[in-house]
Amino acid sequence: MAASPEPADEGLVAAAQRGDLTAFNSLVARYQTPLFNLCLRMLGDRQAAEDATQEAFLSAHRALPRFAGGSLRSWLTRIAANQCKDELRRRRRRGTTSSLDRIVDTDEGSLEIPDEAPTAPELAEQAELGRQLQLALDILPADQREAIVLVDLQEFRYGEAARVAGVSVGTVKSRVHRGRRRLRAYLREHPELIAGYRRLEE
């Protein structure tokens, strides 16, 4: 629950708060992967995720003088999550549900995965599974998606997820519950997901 920030963070934060851009960029390098992944799962779109991540770090830089300590990762995650929710709201207002774009984007992206994975079919299957899971995430309302991404993908405790989302722990609890219930229903309709997952596990 109580996230202990690495001591190094604090030194870098202090330096960055004094205007040291290099120190700030060390923090960027440290957190850009989890933040990018958060945005990727929230938005389901590679390009949008890149934009949101960059925007989040810019916002963080602007807001840095107001960072009052605590977990830097939670703080950055909160900025990025808000960025994503803004983007989702804009999409909804625009009426864009670019699921086709997303599929294309995700396919392109999967080619960039460093190929530690042994064989091509397995890689393809894993990519396909990832794509399917992203589609499943995309059916969730933004709030529930955020809760699931934070808890199940980014492995936040409820308390930390609550602080990131700016809601109470009870709300996180209910969002996780409702989100998983929807995903359970989705998986019941798509048993091949579970099957594919089992095959990969073997």
Partner 1 sequence: MPTIVWSLPPITPHGRRRRQLDAYLDGELSAPAERRFAGHLSGCARCAAALSEARAVKTLFATLPEEPAPRSFAVSEAMLAPVPAPSLRAAAPSPAYGALRWAAGVAAVAAVFAFGALVVVDVGGGGGSQMASPTTLESSAAGDFDQTGATPATGSGKDDDTNRESTDDDSGADGANEASGQPALGESDGGSRSGAAGATPVDAEPEALNSQASPDITNAAAGGASPPEVADADEVADAGAKRADGEVAPPADEPDSAEKAPAGAGEGPPVAAGRAAAGQAELSGDVTVQDETLDAASDSTLGALRIAQIALGATALIALVTTVALWRRAKGIHP
Residues 5-44 that bind partner 1 (CB under 8 A): 21, 24-25, 28-29, 32-37, 40-41
Q: How far is the CB of 115 from partner 1 (least distance, A)?
A: 12
Q: How many residues bind partner 1 (CB under 8 A)?
A: 79
Give yes or no for residue 150 binding partner 1 (CB under 8 A). Answer: no
Maximum Cα–Cα distance across the chain = 54
Q: How far is the CB of 93 from partner 1 (least distance, A)?
A: 6
Give yes or no for residue 180 binding partner 1 (CB under 8 A). Answer: yes
Q: Is the distance from CB of 101 to CB of 107 less than 8 angstroms?
A: no
Q: How far is the CB of 171 from partner 1 (least distance, A)?
A: 5
**Residue 117 burial by CB count (10 A; 0-12/13-18/19+): exposed, middle or buried?**
middle
74, 85, 136 from 102: Cα distances, Å:
27, 17, 12
Which positions from 73 to 92 touch partner 1 by CB under 8 A, shown as an x/- string? Answer: --x--xx--xx-xx--xx--
Question: What residues have CB less than 8 Å from 112, skipping those under 6 apart?
Answer: none
Q: How far is the CB of 89 from partner 1 (least distance, A)?
A: 5
Residue ranges in 154-173 that form contacts with partner 1 under rule CB under 8 A: 155, 157-158, 162-163, 165-168, 170-171, 173
Residue ranges in 88-147 that form contacts with partner 1 under rule CB under 8 A: 89-90, 93-94, 109, 112-114, 126, 129-130, 133-134, 137, 143
Give yes or no for residue 199 binding partner 1 (CB under 8 A). Answer: no
Distance CA 196, CA 15 (A): 48
The full length of the chain comes to 202
Q: How far is the CB of 147 from partner 1 (least distance, A)?
A: 10
Question: What residues have CB less than 8 Å from 40, skipping those under 6 apart?
Answer: 46, 49
Distance CA 182, CA 19 (A): 46
Distance CA 200, CA 194 (A): 10
Give the nearer residue to partner 1 in terms of CB position, either 33 or 97: 33
The tokens describing 148, both together, are 């699931």
Give the nearer residue to partner 1 in terms of CB position, either 9 or 143: 143
